[in-house]
């Protein structure tokens, strides 16, 4: 069992948990993920590592209440325990393999959307600890949905905020802010890392392609099993098939077939809707008969 040391609601339906997992914390690196189960009957949920503390032996995850399983995880409180917390899994971010000299010579732009801001944070923090001040764009629909802005300011070279409704920072999409930074403010970058909703990453990659700017995206949202056995996270990159969980989760954004990835992301929508209905029936104290009646 893995005890939840601390729980914080970052925004409506978005929770941060710091979990006791010394062995995971000892070897975790930016870009990797863990498999979490709320209880013995729970679904395996892949979550990207949002931070880790090797001294304290804790790993931080951020979860949004979208489906039945994530709601079950988010219902737990500090002092409760998760049944499983396996990892770290997946390949770490490419830049962790670079020498300090190579790192300091590169200019990074991170683009984070919604809950994707959480896994961007350990990457920017790692670069900061190695003498690199990366620029960061954090995007959300409205200021009430922004997360990790204070934490990001502490480690980023520059933090830029974009909200769809203009309630904070730049009014509009993150792609518009990318163009403003490059075209109007004269910013130049060697690499862009984008993590967020699939459609956001698609349009970030389309925008950066125009500038010939290398772009890395994280496809964690596609994963189901997390070990390569189920095949649900297959993705086409450069015309070849890869498994997000074992070959990624980070890939060349200019080579990813995003349209296929978004279709695959919706494969289990019917099953999730059925699971929600069953959960609602149980909460109401009724025996669910969905799928039983002819």
Is 192 part of any known ligand binding site?
Answer: no
For CA atoms 148, 124, 184, 198, the dihedral sign is: negative
3-state secondary structure of 192: strand
Q: How many CB atoms lie within 10 A of CB 274?
A: 15
Q: How many CB atoms lie within 10 A of CB 259?
A: 11
Closest by alpha carbon to 153, among 168, 167, 174, 133? 133
Q: 91: cis peptide before it, omega within 30°?
A: no
Distances in Å between the Cα of 277 and the Cα atoms of 67, 145, 265 are 11, 27, 20
- The contacts of residue 243 (CB under 8 Å, 6+ apart) are 228, 231, 233, 234, 235
Measure the CA–CA gap between 42 and 24, rounded to whole angstroms: 20
- The contacts of residue 238 (CB under 8 Å, 6+ apart) are 252, 255
> Vertex 119, ends 113 and 124: CA angle to 5°?
95
Is 233 part of any known ligand binding site?
Answer: yes
Measure the CA–CA gap between 251 and 257, rounded to whole angstroms: 11
Is 271 part of any known ligand binding site?
Answer: no
Is-contact 76 65, C-beta < 8 A? no
Q: Detail the residues annotated as belonging to a binding site for [2Fe-2S] cluster.
A: 230, 233, 245
Q: Detail the residues annotated as belonging to a binding site.
A: 62-64, 230, 233, 245
Q: Detail the residues annotated as belonging to a binding site for FAD.
A: 62-64
């Amino acid at each position: 069992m893995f005890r939840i040391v601390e729980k914080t609601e970052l925004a409506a339906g978005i929770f941060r948990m710091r979990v006791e997992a010394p062995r995971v914390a000892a070897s975790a690196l930016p870009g990797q993920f863990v498999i979490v189960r709320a209880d013995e009957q729970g679904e395996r949920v892949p979550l990207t590592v949002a931070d880790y503390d090797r001294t304290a032996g804790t790993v931080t995850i951020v979860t949004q209440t979208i489906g039945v399983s994530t709601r079950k995880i988010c219902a737990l409180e500090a002092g409760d325990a998760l049944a499983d917390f396996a990892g770290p899994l997946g390949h770490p971010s490419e830049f962790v393999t670079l020498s300090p000299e190579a790192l300091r010579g590169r200019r990074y732009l991170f683009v984070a959307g919604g809950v994707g801001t959480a896994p961007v944070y350990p990457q920017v923090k790692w670069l900061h600890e190695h003498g690199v001040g990366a620029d960061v764009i954090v995007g959300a629909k409205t200021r009430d949905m922004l997360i990790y802005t204070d934490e990001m300011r502490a480690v980023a070279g520059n933090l830029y905020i974009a909200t769809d409704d203009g309630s904070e920072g730049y009014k509009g999409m993150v792609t518009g802010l990318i163009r403003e930074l490059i075209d109007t403010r004269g910013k130049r970058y060697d690499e862009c890392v984008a993590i967020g909703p699939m459609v956001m990453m698609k349009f970030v990659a389309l925008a950066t392609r125009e500038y010939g700017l290398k772009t890395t995206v994280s496809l964690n949202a596609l994963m189901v099993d997390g070990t390569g056995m189920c095949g649900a996270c297959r993705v086409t990159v450069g015309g070849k098939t890869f498994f997000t969980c074992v070959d990624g989760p980070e890939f060349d954004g200019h080579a990813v077939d995003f349209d296929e990835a978004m279709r695959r992301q919706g494969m289990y929508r019917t099953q999730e809707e059925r699971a929600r209905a069953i959960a609602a029936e149980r909460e109401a104290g009724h025996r669910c008969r969905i799928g039983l009646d002819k």
